[in-house]
Amino acid sequence: MHHGDLTQAVSLSMERGLSGKFAVRGSEEVSARELMNLVEKSCEVEPGKTRARFETPVLPLAKMAEEFLVGTGADTNMAELIAYFSENQDTPVEGQDFWQATGSSPQDGLH
């Protein structure tokens, strides 16, 4: 989902004083690789150029120190997020579809 559509959903929710659970979904489905390509493109990096980093198993304390000293926390978080969604693909997002509930629709495409 494009960040503009998510911003629109938050703004609309605040304006209307909505309460309850809503699922804000985009209309386009992409794989983790396609999503990574979009991020690379937005950063002006050739799509497909970013490669996974080889990691040797280390103690969590050493990993935390590395993240602090080297600044890899965002990379680690993204990797854990992708791993989580890969393992939990069948878990649906709870709540009514936001766009149907409000009679609106996303304006920006993901690409």
Phi then psi dihedrals of residue 64, to 5 deg: -65, -40
Name 24's Cβ contacts closer than 8 Å, sequence gap at least 6: 1, 5, 6, 9, 98, 99
Give the three-state DSSP class for 85: helix
pLDDT per residue rounded down to tens, the chain (111 residues): 788 888 889 999 999 988 888 888 777 788 878 888 888 888 888 888 777 666 656 667 777 777 777 777 777 777 788 888 778 776 567 778 888 888 888 888 777
> Does this model's pTM top 0.75?
no
